[in-house]
Each structure stands twice: as C-alpha cells, then as structure tokens.
Structure 1
Amino acid sequence: MSFNLNEAALLLIALVIGWLLGLMMSGRGKYRRLWRDEQIAHRQAIKDRDTRIEASNARIAELERQSTGPIGAGTATAVAGAVHGRDDLSRISGVSQAQEVALNEAGYHRYGQIAALNAEQEATLEARLGLKPGTITHEDWRKQADDLAHGRKRGLFG
C-alpha cells in the first residue's frame, strides 16, 4: 500500500493528535489537579485584591472624616501637579482645564516654559489648542506665566 504526500501528512497529523490526547489522558489527573490549584490561587488573588480595596476605601473614608473642610476647585490638580513637577497652568487667565491638559501633552508643564515662548511656538500652540491666531499675545499668557513663576501674581483663584 502506498501513500501520496497528502495522505501521509494527514496520517502524521492524526498520529500526533492521538499521541497528545494519550499524554493528556495518562496524567492520572495531574492536569486536573494543576487546573484546580490554579483556580484556587486565582480566587485567593481576587480575595486579596478585594481586601486591599476595602482597606483603601476605609482609609479614604477616615481621611475624609478627619478633613477640616471641603476641598476647593483646582486643589486636586494643583496637588497632582506639584507631585509630578508641573505648575497649574490653568491659573493663567484664558487657559481652561482642557487647554492645560493639551499644553501638558505638548510638553509645557511649567510657567517658565510658557513665559519663554517665541512667536513661532505661540502660533503652533494656538493651532494645537484651536485658538484664533494672536490669542496668546492678546491675553498676554507670557507675562502672566512670568508673574506666576516669580510669585508676583497669585492667579485666578488666589
């Protein structure tokens, strides 16, 4: 009996599949035990995660109870900025929160960077922020940023 190439390939595939199935069946429950152990470990990891979340929520509630007053607008942004080495660019008159995010994405994080803008960079930022040409100059962002950087101005909320 002779086999052509296709028949030989199919026979080989059938033999390999049979061999793999035989190996899986002869493990005497080894793979079933491994699967069960993995399920137990997964359930434990989820339980540990839920415990950590509950502890975090309890700590947040405790801190909120200890708080002396409500958190003002912009406080979270300012704290996050201070932690990450960023100034609160929304303190510049004419810069919204969304524009501050766009400025940060463009690489502007400090008042000094805004104060040091040249005309070409201003035009690029105005296009990126969707502002009319000349808006940054008209609203005097550079002077405001310089004042904020040197502590001469407290900004909109201060």
Structure 2
Amino acid sequence: MGFTPNQWAILALVLVLGWLIGLLSRSGGAKWRRAYEGEVAARRDADAQLAAARERNAELERQAAGHPVGPGTAGAIGAAAAGNRDDLALIRGVGRTGETGLNEAGIYRYRQIESLSDGDAATLESRLGLKTGTVAYEEWREQAALLREKGVDAHRTRWGTVA
C-alpha cells in the first residue's frame, strides 16, 4: 500500500505549513519570554521589599520590647490595672487610636478628661483632628466621671458596649 501523488503533495504541504508556523511562532515567543522574565524580575523585587519590611518590623519590635507600656498593649492593660493610668479607650468615641492621641496630649486619667474646660476640649479636638464639639457630643466628660466613680459595668449599662 503506497501513497498516491495527491497524498504525497498533501503531506509535503502539511510539512511546509508546519515549518512556517514554527518559524512564525519563534518570533512571537521572544515577546512572551521577555514578558515572563519581566514578571520574574518584578517578583524578585517584591520579595526583596517584603523581606526588608519584615526586617524593619523585627527591628521595631526589638525596640518596642524595652517600652511595653503603650496604648492597646498588654503592658498598657497592666499599667491601667496597677493604677498608673486609666484605660481611656473605654470611653465611647475614643478607642485605642484616640487613646494614643490623648496620651500624646498628656491625658492619662479619667479625672483629666472630666476637668476639661470647653476651651481645652476645643484645643484637644483640633489636636486630635476631631470635629468641633465631639467631646461634648460624645459626652466624654460624663463617661469619664462614670468610669472613675462606678466602673466599667455602670458605663456599659449607661452607654452600651465599650470600644
């Protein structure tokens, strides 16, 4: 069983067509190879940045180890329990971020918030980037007084859950 001349012609045509497609695909392959190599390089850069960020975090954690008392840390809770400062984040509208700002402003105790004058409250609001009247609207002074006098349970009953 042999090939007919038509079959030989078709076989030769398929062979030539495959060869041409192969040649054409090689020139396009360089484009894809460059794109792949670019992605690999970008991934290497991202990995290097991530490693640098992790090293920076580790360095900051080593530095913070000597200063365990800060807002939102176990040391801060221990300091509050020891009576060195009050947990200002319990005041609705303050939270841990606001507590940091209050501490930076030199406010550590409920009594200090209670004794804020309207002018002091306005100054504090602008320093913390709050809307004018936030201290009065959120009743920070009243909450601080209740927390100081009667504790968290009374505060929770009056103002709901704490931050």
**Larger Cα-atom Rg:** 2
